[in-house]
Amino acid sequence: MDQSRTSPTAALLLKLRQRDDVSAEEEKVVEDLVARTKHVAARSDLVSEGDRPKHSTLIIEGFAARYRQLPDGSRQLTSIHVPGDFVDFHSFLLKEMEHGITALTDCYVVEVPHASLKTVSETHPHLMRLFNLCALIDGAIHREWLVSMGRRRAPMHLAHLICEIYELLEAVQLASNHELRFPITQIDLADILGLSAVHTNRVLQELRRSQLITWDGAVIKILDWPRLRDFADYDNRYLHLVREPR
Protein backbone atom coordinates (compact mmCIF):
# COMPACT_ATOMS: atom_id res chain seq x y z
CA MET A 1 0.00 0.00 0.00
CA ASP A 2 1.15 3.54 -0.75
CA GLN A 3 2.59 4.88 2.48
CA SER A 4 2.67 8.47 1.21
CA ARG A 5 -0.71 9.19 2.74
CA THR A 6 -0.66 9.81 6.46
CA SER A 7 -4.21 8.52 6.98
CA PRO A 8 -6.48 6.02 5.22
CA THR A 9 -9.21 8.69 5.35
CA ALA A 10 -7.10 11.35 3.60
CA ALA A 11 -8.76 10.99 0.19
CA LEU A 12 -12.26 10.90 1.68
CA LEU A 13 -11.61 14.08 3.66
CA LEU A 14 -10.22 15.82 0.57
CA LYS A 15 -13.33 14.77 -1.34
CA LEU A 16 -15.67 16.08 1.37
CA ARG A 17 -13.77 19.37 1.67
CA GLN A 18 -14.22 19.95 -2.05
CA ARG A 19 -17.93 20.36 -1.28
CA ASP A 20 -18.14 21.90 2.23
CA ASP A 21 -16.18 22.67 5.38
CA VAL A 22 -15.34 19.72 7.62
CA SER A 23 -14.75 20.56 11.28
CA ALA A 24 -11.92 19.14 13.39
CA GLU A 25 -14.51 17.14 15.34
CA GLU A 26 -16.00 15.72 12.14
CA GLU A 27 -12.52 14.83 10.88
CA LYS A 28 -11.92 12.89 14.09
CA VAL A 29 -15.24 11.05 13.63
CA VAL A 30 -14.22 10.08 10.08
CA GLU A 31 -10.83 8.85 11.25
CA ASP A 32 -12.44 6.82 14.03
CA LEU A 33 -14.54 4.94 11.46
CA VAL A 34 -11.38 3.10 10.37
CA ALA A 35 -10.82 -0.14 12.26
CA ARG A 36 -8.45 -1.89 9.85
CA THR A 37 -7.51 -1.87 6.20
CA LYS A 38 -8.07 -4.85 3.92
CA HIS A 39 -6.40 -5.89 0.67
CA VAL A 40 -8.61 -6.95 -2.24
CA ALA A 41 -6.83 -8.53 -5.20
CA ALA A 42 -7.47 -7.29 -8.73
CA ARG A 43 -10.37 -9.06 -10.50
CA SER A 44 -11.96 -9.95 -7.13
CA ASP A 45 -15.35 -8.71 -5.96
CA LEU A 46 -15.52 -6.20 -3.15
CA VAL A 47 -19.26 -6.87 -3.04
CA SER A 48 -21.28 -9.36 -5.08
CA GLU A 49 -24.78 -9.15 -6.46
CA GLY A 50 -27.27 -10.45 -3.89
CA ASP A 51 -25.02 -9.72 -0.91
CA ARG A 52 -26.52 -8.11 2.19
CA PRO A 53 -23.41 -6.42 3.60
CA LYS A 54 -23.23 -5.24 7.19
CA HIS A 55 -20.66 -2.60 6.29
CA SER A 56 -19.94 -0.03 3.59
CA THR A 57 -16.61 -0.15 1.78
CA LEU A 58 -14.31 2.87 1.45
CA ILE A 59 -11.53 2.70 -1.15
CA ILE A 60 -8.24 4.06 0.09
CA GLU A 61 -6.07 2.84 -2.79
CA GLY A 62 -6.79 1.41 -6.25
CA PHE A 63 -9.66 1.45 -8.73
CA ALA A 64 -12.97 -0.40 -8.54
CA ALA A 65 -16.08 -0.56 -10.72
CA ARG A 66 -19.78 -1.30 -10.36
CA TYR A 67 -21.03 -3.88 -12.82
CA ARG A 68 -23.94 -6.00 -13.93
CA GLN A 69 -23.35 -9.38 -15.54
CA LEU A 70 -25.90 -10.98 -17.85
CA PRO A 71 -26.64 -14.72 -18.00
CA ASP A 72 -24.58 -15.05 -21.21
CA GLY A 73 -21.51 -13.80 -19.33
CA SER A 74 -21.39 -10.35 -20.91
CA ARG A 75 -20.71 -7.54 -18.49
CA GLN A 76 -21.42 -3.83 -18.32
CA LEU A 77 -19.39 -1.57 -16.04
CA THR A 78 -21.64 1.22 -14.80
CA SER A 79 -19.20 3.42 -12.85
CA ILE A 80 -15.54 3.73 -11.87
CA HIS A 81 -14.53 4.39 -8.26
CA VAL A 82 -11.33 5.97 -6.99
CA PRO A 83 -9.74 6.48 -3.56
CA GLY A 84 -12.05 8.38 -1.24
CA ASP A 85 -15.20 6.70 -2.60
CA PHE A 86 -17.67 4.73 -0.49
CA VAL A 87 -18.48 2.20 -3.21
CA ASP A 88 -21.54 0.74 -1.50
CA PHE A 89 -22.66 3.44 0.91
CA HIS A 90 -26.23 2.92 -0.32
CA SER A 91 -26.22 -0.62 1.10
CA PHE A 92 -26.55 1.08 4.51
CA LEU A 93 -30.21 1.72 3.60
CA LEU A 94 -30.97 -0.52 0.61
CA LYS A 95 -29.58 -3.62 2.39
CA GLU A 96 -29.43 -6.00 -0.61
CA MET A 97 -27.00 -5.37 -3.46
CA GLU A 98 -28.55 -5.68 -6.91
CA HIS A 99 -25.15 -5.31 -8.64
CA GLY A 100 -21.54 -6.22 -8.01
CA ILE A 101 -18.44 -4.15 -7.36
CA THR A 102 -15.14 -5.49 -8.65
CA ALA A 103 -11.54 -4.45 -8.03
CA LEU A 104 -10.07 -3.36 -11.36
CA THR A 105 -6.65 -3.20 -9.70
CA ASP A 106 -5.29 -4.35 -6.38
CA CYS A 107 -7.20 -2.29 -3.83
CA TYR A 108 -6.88 -1.40 -0.18
CA VAL A 109 -10.20 -0.70 1.47
CA VAL A 110 -11.78 0.02 4.82
CA GLU A 111 -15.01 -1.70 5.84
CA VAL A 112 -17.12 0.69 7.93
CA PRO A 113 -19.87 -1.10 9.90
CA HIS A 114 -23.40 0.09 9.22
CA ALA A 115 -23.83 0.37 12.99
CA SER A 116 -21.09 3.03 12.99
CA LEU A 117 -22.78 4.91 10.15
CA LYS A 118 -26.07 4.81 12.06
CA THR A 119 -24.32 6.40 15.02
CA VAL A 120 -22.89 9.13 12.78
CA SER A 121 -26.37 9.82 11.39
CA GLU A 122 -27.67 10.34 14.93
CA THR A 123 -24.76 12.31 16.40
CA HIS A 124 -23.25 14.23 13.46
CA PRO A 125 -26.03 15.07 10.98
CA HIS A 126 -23.90 17.48 8.92
CA LEU A 127 -21.28 14.80 8.32
CA MET A 128 -23.97 12.32 7.34
CA ARG A 129 -25.36 14.89 4.90
CA LEU A 130 -21.93 15.02 3.28
CA PHE A 131 -21.82 11.23 3.02
CA ASN A 132 -25.30 11.30 1.47
CA LEU A 133 -24.15 14.03 -0.90
CA CYS A 134 -21.43 11.70 -2.17
CA ALA A 135 -24.08 9.03 -2.83
CA LEU A 136 -26.17 11.59 -4.72
CA ILE A 137 -23.15 12.56 -6.81
CA ASP A 138 -22.71 8.85 -7.65
CA GLY A 139 -26.26 9.02 -9.04
CA ALA A 140 -25.42 12.14 -11.06
CA ILE A 141 -22.37 10.38 -12.52
CA HIS A 142 -24.52 7.38 -13.41
CA ARG A 143 -26.96 9.64 -15.30
CA GLU A 144 -24.08 11.17 -17.25
CA TRP A 145 -22.84 7.69 -18.13
CA LEU A 146 -26.31 6.86 -19.49
CA VAL A 147 -26.13 9.93 -21.73
CA SER A 148 -22.71 8.84 -22.97
CA MET A 149 -23.92 5.30 -23.67
CA GLY A 150 -27.03 6.47 -25.49
CA ARG A 151 -26.07 9.67 -27.26
CA ARG A 152 -22.33 10.24 -27.49
CA ARG A 153 -20.27 8.66 -30.23
CA ALA A 154 -17.72 6.19 -28.89
CA PRO A 155 -14.71 8.56 -29.25
CA MET A 156 -16.66 11.30 -27.42
CA HIS A 157 -17.67 8.77 -24.75
CA LEU A 158 -14.05 7.77 -24.12
CA ALA A 159 -12.90 11.40 -24.09
CA HIS A 160 -15.66 12.23 -21.59
CA LEU A 161 -14.58 9.34 -19.36
CA ILE A 162 -10.98 10.55 -19.37
CA CYS A 163 -12.06 14.08 -18.41
CA GLU A 164 -14.19 12.70 -15.57
CA ILE A 165 -11.58 10.36 -14.12
CA TYR A 166 -8.92 13.07 -14.32
CA GLU A 167 -11.04 15.53 -12.32
CA LEU A 168 -12.06 12.91 -9.76
CA LEU A 169 -8.41 12.02 -9.19
CA GLU A 170 -7.31 15.66 -9.18
CA ALA A 171 -9.87 16.37 -6.44
CA VAL A 172 -8.10 13.90 -4.13
CA GLN A 173 -4.61 14.97 -5.20
CA LEU A 174 -3.88 11.85 -7.24
CA ALA A 175 -3.58 13.62 -10.62
CA SER A 176 -2.15 16.92 -11.76
CA ASN A 177 -0.85 18.80 -14.80
CA HIS A 178 -3.36 16.94 -16.99
CA GLU A 179 -1.65 13.62 -16.38
CA LEU A 180 -3.19 10.65 -14.60
CA ARG A 181 -2.43 7.05 -13.84
CA PHE A 182 -5.36 4.88 -14.95
CA PRO A 183 -4.31 1.19 -14.96
CA ILE A 184 -7.33 -0.23 -16.74
CA THR A 185 -7.28 -3.03 -19.32
CA GLN A 186 -8.80 -2.65 -22.76
CA ILE A 187 -11.27 -5.41 -21.85
CA ASP A 188 -12.46 -3.34 -18.89
CA LEU A 189 -12.56 -0.26 -21.10
CA ALA A 190 -14.67 -2.17 -23.62
CA ASP A 191 -17.08 -3.11 -20.82
CA ILE A 192 -17.45 0.59 -20.02
CA LEU A 193 -18.02 1.68 -23.61
CA GLY A 194 -20.24 -1.29 -24.49
CA LEU A 195 -18.01 -2.21 -27.42
CA SER A 196 -15.83 -5.10 -28.50
CA ALA A 197 -12.16 -4.98 -27.51
CA VAL A 198 -11.22 -4.48 -31.19
CA HIS A 199 -13.61 -1.53 -31.62
CA THR A 200 -12.40 -0.06 -28.32
CA ASN A 201 -8.81 -0.12 -29.58
CA ARG A 202 -9.88 1.75 -32.73
CA VAL A 203 -11.61 4.39 -30.61
CA LEU A 204 -8.48 4.83 -28.48
CA GLN A 205 -6.33 5.17 -31.59
CA GLU A 206 -8.67 7.90 -32.90
CA LEU A 207 -8.04 10.01 -29.78
CA ARG A 208 -4.31 9.44 -30.15
CA ARG A 209 -4.32 10.38 -33.86
CA SER A 210 -6.25 13.54 -33.01
CA GLN A 211 -3.42 14.44 -30.62
CA LEU A 212 -5.83 14.81 -27.73
CA ILE A 213 -4.08 12.28 -25.48
CA THR A 214 -1.24 9.85 -25.17
CA TRP A 215 -1.88 6.59 -23.34
CA ASP A 216 1.33 4.76 -22.49
CA GLY A 217 0.78 1.73 -20.28
CA ALA A 218 -1.18 3.01 -17.30
CA VAL A 219 -0.37 6.70 -17.81
CA ILE A 220 -2.65 9.05 -19.72
CA LYS A 221 -1.40 12.49 -20.73
CA ILE A 222 -4.01 14.99 -21.84
CA LEU A 223 -2.26 17.00 -24.54
CA ASP A 224 -4.90 19.69 -25.00
CA TRP A 225 -7.39 19.97 -22.12
CA PRO A 226 -9.69 22.63 -23.69
CA ARG A 227 -9.89 20.71 -26.95
CA LEU A 228 -10.48 17.35 -25.23
CA ARG A 229 -13.19 18.91 -23.06
CA ASP A 230 -14.88 20.50 -26.09
CA PHE A 231 -14.59 17.31 -28.15
CA ALA A 232 -16.25 15.32 -25.33
CA ASP A 233 -18.96 17.92 -24.68
CA TYR A 234 -17.73 17.76 -21.10
CA ASP A 235 -19.36 19.91 -18.43
CA ASN A 236 -18.29 18.97 -14.91
CA ARG A 237 -21.33 20.42 -13.12
CA TYR A 238 -22.55 16.88 -12.42
CA LEU A 239 -19.46 16.28 -10.23
CA HIS A 240 -20.48 19.17 -7.95
CA LEU A 241 -16.89 20.20 -7.26
CA VAL A 242 -18.09 23.36 -5.51
CA ARG A 243 -17.73 24.17 -1.84
CA GLU A 244 -20.90 25.55 -0.31
CA PRO A 245 -22.92 24.98 2.88
CA ARG A 246 -24.79 21.67 2.81
Helices (H) and strands (E) in the chain, counts: 9, 10
Three-state secondary structure of 105-152: CCEEEEEEEHHHHHHHHHHCHHHHHHHHHHHHHHHHHHHHHHHHHHHC
| CATH code that applies to domain 152-239 | 1.10.10.10
Q: Which phi and psi angles does 169 have, rounded to 5°?
A: -70, -40
Whether the per-residue pLDDT at 3 is higher than 80: the answer is: no
Averaged over 240-246, what is the pLDDT?
95
**For the whole model, what pTM was predicted?**
0.94
What contacts 48, CB < 8 A, 6 or more positions away?
97, 100
Sign of CA dihedral 178, 180, 182, 183: positive
Confidence at residue 4, expressed as pLDDT on a 0 to 100 scale = 40
Mind listing the pLDDT tens digit for each residue in 35-51?
889 999 999 999 999 99
Whether the per-residue pLDDT at 132 is higher than 70: the answer is: yes
Contact predicate 162/203, CB 8 Å: no
Banded model confidence at residue 6, pLDDT cuts 50, 70, 90? low
Confidence at residue 216, expressed as pLDDT on a 0 to 100 scale = 95
Averaged over 177-193, what is the pLDDT?
96
Mind listing the pLDDT tens digit for each residue in 211-242?
999 999 999 999 999 999 999 999 999 999 99
d(CA 80, CA 76): 12
Average pLDDT, the chain: 94
Mind listing the pLDDT tens digit for each residue in 40-86?
999 999 999 999 999 999 999 999 999 999 999 899 999 999 999 99
d(CA 23, CA 124): 11
Provide the greatest CA pair distance for the chain. 54
Confidence at residue 5, expressed as pLDDT on a 0 to 100 scale = 52
**Comparing C-alpha atoms, which of 84, 74, 175, 98 is closest to residue 130?**
84
For domain 10-147, give the fold.
Answer: Jelly Rolls (2.60.120)
Banded model confidence at residue 7, pLDDT cuts 50, 70, 90? confident
What residues does each domain of the chain span?
10-147, 152-239
